[in-house]
Amino acid sequence: MAQSTFFRLSATDGAARCGELTTPHGIVRTPAFMPVGTQATVKGMRPEEVRACGTDIVLANTYHLMLRPGAERIAALGGLHRFMNWPYPILTDSGGFQVMSLAQLRKVAPAGVTFRSHLDGSLVELTPERAVEIQALLGADIAMQLDECTKLPAAHADLERAMRLSLAWAERSKRAFVGAKDGRALFGIVQGGDDAGLRRESARALVDLAFDGYAIGGLAVGEPQEVMLRLVEETTALLPAGKPRYLMGVGTPEDILAAVARDMFDCVMPTRNGRHGVAFTRYGRINLKNARHVDDPRPLDPDAANGAYSRAYLHHLVKANEMLGAILLSQANICYYQALMQGIRAAIAAGEFEDFRRGTLAEWERGDIAPMSAEGRAGAQGAAP
Amino acid sequence: MAQSTFFRLSATDGAARCGELTTPHGIVRTPAFMPVGTQATVKGMRPEEVRACGTDIVLANTYHLMLRPGAERIAALGGLHRFMNWPYPILTDSGGFQVMSLAQLRKVAPAGVTFRSHLDGSLVELTPERAVEIQALLGADIAMQLDECTKLPAAHADLERAMRLSLAWAERSKRAFVGAKDGRALFGIVQGGDDAGLRRESARALVDLAFDGYAIGGLAVGEPQEVMLRLVEETTALLPAGKPRYLMGVGTPEDILAAVARDMFDCVMPTRNGRHGVAFTRYGRINLKNARHVDDPRPLDPDAANGAYSRAYLHHLVKANEMLGAILLSQANICYYQALMQGIRAAIAAGEFEDFRRGTLAEWERGDIAPMSAEGRAGAQGAAP
């Protein structure tokens, strides 16, 4: 695949940049946030709702889909886009991260990883070549190499072994991907844990292999934000400017804003928090379980798409454990994330990203403000609920 | 309220009839099916989806809403229509049925019923007057009298006592309702269990009280369909033709079709079954959990609104316990019920109800047909899955 037709930068503003990816299923505006559709559905949302929030691309999980319903089955049904009724771009991960976090009795060997399915205990082998094959069967617009993601903290020797194994798998993935359907992209994944030297070595070697894009894996797993950002900066400096950079599993709105010199992000946070009664808004997080919302007639945000519903009603739905609470808050959160990304892109294009960043931080800092009650009780400054 | 402006019959066909109810929040075409929004939400559905299926009116539960979030609170927030973002007609039950089935330590006395909340154990009193007041606070277009619903089987003496108590409560409800906001309606409820004599007495006495409509309560609680239909017929014969008749808690598509000489029905079945992976279709019930759907590329029904989703995908969602499975099947089921009601209304208007009934039964009887597999395996006649 010609590199120039996949990623086009349209503006830069300091380290931040905006542009677009061209995939077989359409354009992805960057910086992009990818909602996570683990089991071929963004939890609690219809695909048309995901799209209407301003989503260009979703992520789906190879590990889950290879086990159920199976990659060959999805291919026979016309591919993942048709299966999940999402005719727009899809990125699939390689399965490596979930093998490490969900599977039982996994055994990592140079050939690949064998593990027992968390669903039925059956023995499964995942090799770099099979991961590429599965992602081709699914029909992913962007595929990821198989990697070994090490939990932190870890000994240097373990980090080094996993990084080198991931590099060897990167090369095999690249080879297996040759001849893939025109227009599909394959990304390499930088590993190395929290060791900057290992990360630099990983990045350099991957760049030599000439992937269509580069992901930074194994971060946002609990380390402090400044540690994550330092490692991301170290790595990014070595990656070619003309290729997209994907910071995997990131993250909170705060992390995305801080790390926005990268082009792609994904996280389960907006939908998971939505299912647990927490809304992201431009004035920070709002926990709808909190009793202070019980009589509040205001919507989450007067400008929000779900202005038809009061906080009192959302509180009621969350307390009553009604599906509609999870549905409405998942949508509100995905919409908030995508509005944030749109704000970021517009600010970069206008050369005003630093103003945007400060303004956004100031709104988060201000926090949510409690309403005046009917009795005229003074509106108290609301801390994080 | 003038009776003639509330209910207008437009056609009859044998015992079946169609018409419309005029309420403060709009028209209800009859025979009508009312989806159940127990806790101010039809489970798993957005109100605009409920409406788009062809729903004119929903039912909400006084018992649940009085306990959480509270009737006074909903009134202060602008009423139930605004609270749940459903600006169309709402019928509320009186709370009697749930007090009997959900509350703990209930004590029935002539004055009313006292019980402990199933949520927090608090002691609550519900009288006929309070039930009318709560329904006014909610803003129900159609309110129901408080009644005592007896579980079957029951001794004659118990049925008689409960029926007479319900009658006394009917009279007090009627008195409490005087002066209600113009255009709202109050229904009496025929009780008497499975004793035809008691039911006749109940019906005659309620008619003397001149309610806006009459409900038949305490049926569809497990008795055979022919027993239910016989008691419904006995009762209906005594009710004035110019008032709407509401068969509470009914039911399956089969029950509705058999009992269609009544004008109003409600049931949790379409949404509850949807959450459990069962779809109602014109070829009968389809259990999406069944493995025979795993490779089936067909939609539930080629004419259905959710034709974008294959049975294979619905099967996957149900097996993976994904919310979208419950969302899509709840919608498919409400849409099926409302399409059935629309078919019934059109057939009555055209004087062809008997043909419609036979045709519908024949389609249910035919059942779902398994697809031809890719390997050319002959499509087998599908029994109920």
Dist CA B254 CA B265 (whole Å): 12
Mutate to test the interface with A, among B288, B294, B313 (most CBs of A within 10 A): B313
Q: Do A43 and B324 touch (CB under 8 A)?
A: yes
Residues B34, B265: contact at Cβ < 8 Å?
Answer: yes
Give buried/exposed letters for B188-197 (b at 16+ CB in 10 A, else e). bbbbbbbbee
d(CA A154, nearest CA chain B) in Å = 33
Using a CB-CB distance cutoff of 8 angstroms, which residues of chain A are in contact with residue B308? 85
Residue A303 predicted with pLDDT over 90:
no
Q: Do A295 and B41 touch (CB under 8 A)?
A: no
Q: Do B324 and A44 touch (CB under 8 A)?
A: yes
Bridge pairing between strands A264-267 and A278-281: unpaired
What are the tens digits of pLDDT across the range B347-374? 999 999 999 999 999 999 999 987 755 4
Q: Which of B40, B73, B297 sits opposite A77 (nearest CB)?
A: B297
**DSSP state at residue A199:** H
Dist CA B252 CA A110 (whole Å): 59
Using a CB-CB distance cutoff of 8 angstroms, which residues of chain A are in contact with residue B77? 295, 297, 310, 312-313
CA atoms lying within 13 Å on the CB side of residue A62: 30
d(CA B124, nearest CA chain A) in Å = 19
Q: Do B322 and A295 touch (CB under 8 A)?
A: no
Beta bridge pairs of residue B264 = B32, B246
Using a CB-CB distance cutoff of 8 angstroms, which residues of chain A are in contact with residue B78? 297
What are the tens digits of pLDDT across the range B88-131? 999 999 998 888 888 778 899 999 999 999 899 999 999 999 99
- State how far the alpha carbon of B99 is from the alpha carbons of B62, B108, B193, in Å: 10, 10, 17
Positive or negative: CA dihedral B271, B272, B275, B280: negative
Tell me the average pLDDT across B292-311. 84
Tell me the average pLDDT across A331-343. 97
Residues A313, A354: contact at Cβ < 8 Å?
Answer: no
Q: Do B308 and A85 touch (CB under 8 A)?
A: yes
Q: Would you call A277 helix, strand, or coil by DSSP?
A: coil
Query: Band of the pLDDT at B305, cuts 50, 70, 90?
Result: low
Write out the catalytic residue numbers of B.
Answer: 93, 266
Using a CB-CB distance cutoff of 8 angstroms, which residues of chain A are in contact with residue B83? 310, 312-313, 316
Using a CB-CB distance cutoff of 8 angstroms, which residues of chain B are in contact with residue A300? none
What are the tens digits of pLDDT across the range A231-264? 999 999 999 999 999 999 999 999 999 999 999 9
Which residues on chain A place their C-beta less than 8 Å from a C-beta of chain B?
39-41, 43-46, 68-69, 73, 76-78, 83-85, 294-295, 297, 308-310, 312-313, 315-317, 319-320, 322-324, 326-328, 374
What are the tens digits of pLDDT across the range B34-62? 999 999 999 999 999 999 999 999 999 99
Tell me the average pLDDT across A276-305. 91
Q: Which of B69, B315, B326 sits opposite A316 (nearest CB)?
A: B69
What are the tens digits of pLDDT across the range B181-224? 789 999 999 999 999 999 999 999 999 999 999 999 999 888 88
B80, closest residue in chain A (CA to CA): A313
Task: Return the pLDDT at A182.
Answer: 84
Dist CA A237 CA A29 (whole Å): 22
B75, closest residue in chain A (CA to CA): A295
What are the tens digits of pLDDT across the range A30-89? 999 999 999 999 999 999 999 999 999 999 999 999 999 999 999 999 999 999 999 999
ipTM associated with this complex: 0.94
Q: Do A41 and B327 touch (CB under 8 A)?
A: no
Residues A300, A314: contact at Cβ < 8 Å?
Answer: yes
Choose the catalytic residue: A141, A212, A255, A266: A266
Using a CB-CB distance cutoff of 8 angstroms, which residues of chain B are in contact with residue A78? 297
d(CA A73, nearest CA chain B) in Å = 7
Give which of A83, A82, A31, A88 is closest to A59, Cα–Cα.
A88
Residue B384 predicted with pLDDT over 50:
no
Q: Do A322 and B39 touch (CB under 8 A)?
A: yes
Q: Which residue has the tokens 């999805």?
A: A74
Chain A, chain B: beta-carbon pairs less than 8 Å apart: 99
Query: Band of the pLDDT at A101, cuts 50, 70, 90?
Result: confident
- Cβ burial, residue B232 (10 Å; 0-12/13-18/19+): buried
Q: What angle do CA A86, A88, A89 make, to 5 degrees?
A: 115
Q: Which amino acid is at A309?
A: Y
Task: Return the pLDDT at B2.
Answer: 41
Mutate to test the interface with A, among B68, B117, B306, B322 (most CBs of A within 10 A): B322
What are the tens digits of pLDDT across the range B123-159? 999 999 999 999 999 999 999 999 998 888 899 999 9
